[in-house]
């Protein structure tokens, strides 16, 4: 894999940005989480007057061999069907990105379908991964290809002018991959990581849990992020991991969506811990285990709306709040400029 060397965010302007925040015409700390976000983005950009340019969300799509084992309430053909829905503008992510003026990019990382639309970015590594119940989901050669594509996608979006990228996904069966990744990285038993995904009933959930326990037995002693990615990841998760790392490497803001996107971030943080300074976590998913992922990373999400859709929808919904954080820092009057008396 490529060796990333993400710069630790400089703290040189911390006092200056905090002073600017505290001098706004409001009681100190009264804008709560918005003040934290404003400070974080100011530090990422090294500016007292940060700006968000051309906000973007990228949805990586891929199929999973394990979907044939009954770990999802939906059949595998839903993956390409939903990608086509993204292209035609009919999905939730289309509605929310359009509402908030966010550019949407859709990537075929490894869907079991051949797309003919120019609106789908072709980064296909294969027509779905192998079933990790019996073998590795992907080879090291495929993983390296995923990382090359993920870097290419991040560069493409940043080179277009964007300095903030949200990360979403689509892939039937990918909550299973995310649960396995979470279990390995966070050292948690599978029952604390596995949830209902797209809506499994109790019987389906038990079947999913047993399948994933078998998968862990098939792949013991995973040590490195590369080991975990090859064993359990989807092509979309691997490409997202690389794209997140590249985004931070280039100094842009990362918006992390839900359970699957956070599993990619867990691996990215294992590869280069400095990535955490560049990430804003859009929401806490209703998928079982996501809250524990966030606790492991010691981060607080912007929203908690009981979402479990994926697609980057949490990023799109959180973005206006993030924009508000930057706008108050840039546009709100100070006590001095407004001739308002400060607290005694």
Averaged pLDDT for residues 172-190:
96
Statement to judge: residues 196 and 334 lie in one domain: no
pLDDT of residue 1: 64
Statement to judge: residues 164 and 101 lie in one domain: yes
Statement to judge: residues 66 and 201 lie in one domain: yes
Q: Which domain holds residue 31?
A: 14-50+328-338
Statement to judge: residues 38 and 183 lie in one domain: no
Statement to judge: residues 195 and 297 lie in one domain: yes
- Three-state SS annotation for the chain: CCCCCCCCCCCCCHHHHHHHHHCECCCCCCCCHHHHHHHHHHHHHCCCCCCCCCCEEEEEEECCHHHHHCCCCCCCCHHHHHHHHHHHCCCHHHHHHHHHCCEEEEEEEECCCCCCCCCEEECCCCCCCCCCCCCCCCCHHHHHHHHHHHHHHHHHHHHCCCCEEEEEEECCCHHHHHHHHHHHHHCCCHHHCCCCCCCCCHHHHHHHHHHHHHHHHHCCCCCCHHHHHHHHCCHHHHHHHHHHHHHHHCCCEEEECCHHHHHHHHHHHHHCHHHHHHEEECECCCCCCHHHHHHHHCCCCCECCCCCCCCCHHHHHHHHHHHHHHHHHHHCCEHHHHCCCCCC
- Looking at the domain assignment, is residue 8 inside a domain? no
In the chain, % of residues over pLDDT 90:
89
pLDDT of residue 106: 98
Statement to judge: residues 238 and 315 lie in one domain: yes
Averaged pLDDT for residues 184-189:
97
- Looking at the domain assignment, is residue 113 inside a domain? yes
- Looking at the domain assignment, is residue 30 inside a domain? yes
pLDDT of residue 137: 98
- Looking at the domain assignment, is residue 70 inside a domain? yes
CATH number of 333's domain: 1.10.1610.10
Statement to judge: residues 150 and 195 lie in one domain: yes
Statement to judge: residues 45 and 136 lie in one domain: no
Q: Active-site residues: which are they?
A: 311
Statement to judge: residues 192 and 279 lie in one domain: yes
* Range name among 32-36, 235-239, 340-344 with the lowest pLDDT average: 340-344
Statement to judge: residues 180 and 145 lie in one domain: yes
Averaged pLDDT for residues 149-157:
98
CATH number of 187's domain: 3.40.50.10210
- Looking at the domain assignment, is residue 102 inside a domain? yes
- Looking at the domain assignment, is residue 7 inside a domain? no
pLDDT grade, residue 198 (50/70/90)?
Answer: low
Statement to judge: residues 45 and 78 lie in one domain: no
- Looking at the domain assignment, is residue 318 inside a domain? yes
Count of structural domains, the chain: 2
For the chain, give the mean pLDDT.
95
Residue 297 pLDDT > 70: yes
Residue 33 pLDDT > 70: yes
- Looking at the domain assignment, is residue 4 inside a domain? no
Q: Model-level pTM?
A: 0.95
Averaged pLDDT for residues 69-74:
84
Statement to judge: residues 136 and 39 lie in one domain: no
pLDDT tens-place string over residues 78-124: 999 999 999 999 999 999 999 999 999 999 999 999 999 999 999 99
């Amino acid at each position: 894999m490529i060796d990333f060397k993400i710069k630790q965010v400089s703290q040189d302007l911390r006092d200056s940005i905090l002073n600017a925040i505290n001098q706004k015409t409001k009681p100190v700390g009264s804008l709560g989480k918005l003040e934290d976000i404003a400070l974080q983005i100011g530090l990422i950009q090294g500016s007292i007057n940060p700006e968000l340019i051309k906000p973007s969300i990228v949805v990586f799509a891929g199929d999973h061999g394990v979907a044939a084992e009954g770990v999802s309430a939906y059949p595998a053909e839903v993956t390409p069907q939903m990608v086509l829905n993204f292209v035609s503008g009919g999905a939730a992510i289309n509605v929310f990105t359009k509402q908030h003026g966010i550019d949407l990019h859709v990537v075929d990382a490894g869907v079991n379908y051949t797309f003919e639309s120019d609106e789908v970015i072709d980064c296909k590594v294969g027509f779905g991964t192998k079933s990790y119940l019996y073998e590795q989901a992907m080879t090291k050669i495929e993983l390296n290809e995923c990382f090359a594509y993920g870097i290419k996608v991040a560069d493409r979006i940043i080179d277009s002018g964007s300095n903030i990228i949200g990360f979403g996904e689509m892939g039937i069966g990918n909550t299973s991959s995310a649960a396995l990744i979470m279990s390995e990285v966070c050292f948690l038993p599978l029952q604390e990581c596995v949830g209902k995904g797209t809506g499994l009933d109790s019987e389906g959930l038990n079947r999913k849990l047993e399948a994933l326990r078998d998968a862990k037995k098939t792949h013991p002693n995973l040590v490195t992020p590369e080991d975990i990615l090859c064993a359990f990841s989807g092509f979309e998760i691997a490409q997202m991991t690389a794209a997140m790392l590249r985004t931070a490497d280039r100094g842009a803001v990362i918006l992390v969506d839900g359970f699957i996107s956070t599993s990619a971030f867990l691996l990215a943080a294992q590869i280069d811990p400095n990535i955490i300074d560049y990430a804003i976590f859009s929401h806490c998913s209703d998928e079982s285990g996501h809250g524990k992922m966030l606790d492991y990373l010691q981060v607080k999400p912007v929203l908690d709306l009981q979402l479990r859709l994926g697609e980057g929808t949490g990023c799109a919904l959180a973005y206006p709040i993030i924009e508000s954080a930057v706008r108050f820092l840039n546009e709100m009057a100070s006590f001095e400029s407004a001739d308002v008396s400060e607290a005694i």
